[in-house]
Chains A and B, each alone.
Chain A
Amino acid sequence: MNLTLRIWRQRGPEEPGAMTTYEVADVSPDMSFLEMLDTLNEELILRGEEPVAFDHDCREGICGACGVVINGEAHGPERTTTCQLHMRHFRDGDTIDVEPWRSAAFPVVKDLVVDRSAFDRVIGSGGYITAPTGSAPEAHATPVPKAAADTAFENAECIGCGACVAACPNGSAMLFTAAKVVHLNSLPQGGPERERRVLDMVDAMDAEGFGGCTHTGVCTTVCPKGIPLASIATLNREYLRATRKGAA
């Protein structure tokens, strides 16, 4: 099939950008969206133009590196990562708009590449359990109820792609932060740092310039891993609990 792409091109963080139109011919429905961009880039290189920069790595939907907004939707029309979106979901003659994640906390680096290091700083502020190597007790010393383990896992699945922030009209990172807080706070191992973790992570999230949550729920509808909206409720509960307990 033949497609028209309108892609955001921007040379650098301080440069102005614009949507630029490209025609791509002979796209196979079996191609992934990124393979379709690869094809375009091969052509651009041979024409002596700069290929479109985009982040990607594992192309299996787990590393979280890829992610663009396709026709106004983070990761495109299917609930998956951009690398796992296939061209069979488009039709011959379609015009497809491709834009980078938009958020003040994710400045554009080049073309479709954005800087998501804010996420790393949110994790660094408290998204861990302090367990220096060698200090761990025997793994079976603390049984974890299966329900807690399942809740932890469901939230630990977050791949940190940033689609939630990109889709949220407020550029809010609540779902991302909630996923980590719920993962760790659900486990007995996460207990000792439970209050400190949630307070620190929310502070860090705010300091990075993410917006607040207005419960539009769009974050969960684009989340490739299906982190539930209920996690945000749990984050709020944990936060209020920690505030009440006066954790420093």
Chain B
Amino acid sequence: MDFLSNLISGLSLGSIYALIALGYTMVYGIAKMLNFAHGDIIMVGAFTVIVCVNMCGLPTWVGAILSVLVCVLLGVVIERVAYKPLRKSPPLTVLITAIGVSYLLQSLAQLVFGSGLHSFPKVVSIPPVQLGELTIKGDALATLAVSALIMVALTLFIGKTRMGKAMRAVSEDKDAAELMGISVNKTISVTFAIGSALAAVAGIFYGSTYGFIGPYTGSMPGIKAFVAAVFGGIGSIPGAMIGGLALGIIENLSKAYISTELSDAIVFGVLIVVLLLKPTGLLGKKIKEKV
């Protein structure tokens, strides 16, 4: 029973990672850049809820919706201002810019909210569920349900809609897609919008699971989600989901059975082993090099 409850909280943590990793992987697939600032969008999303609910007294669902909207806007603006002019630059330039944006968001949050931790309002008010001896926390249940819903919706969106098709086309070959009349700029903006919305949702669940948010809260889950995206094969959407879930489970189980302090080392160690066996991640495409 102990094992099962650890597994379920691992799944819930994993689905938070998966939501963030989806943003990483989509942006990577389409803009071919590592968006290091993605982790800090989570923090912005969580702080928006804190402002709305704790300071303005709005109901939590309004806070959640506003948080998603703020993050979508932020993601699109960041892309337009900081990343768009660099589309033809070497990847490292874009990476450093993304790091700059990440520092910017962190220091802005620190200026506004101070460097301390803020308590996060209770978003989920579902009572814990008893299944025999097994108790499942309401938070975990809500996280799992919402994440599953979002992942199904996202898969349908990418697979069935015109915009989804455009996204797949742009990620395959940007120039050819443009020749076929697809607006690359619009597609990239939509990708950033979706990625940031997912990050906002992840931020809300992260906040309600851990209860506290500070200006640097986003960076560790951001890195872990990045690891999850690479683990599953960066650029692959099902890969990000599997990678996120696997990472959450590994982290929680190693915390429960091996050592709390070493859990990060174990997570990263597993990543290294996976990449050594499959150099492009679990579901990553293998690209043949041509001369």
Q: A and B: partners?
A: no
By a beta-carbon cutoff of 8 Å, the part of chain B in contact with chain A is none
By a beta-carbon cutoff of 8 Å, the part of chain A in contact with chain B is none
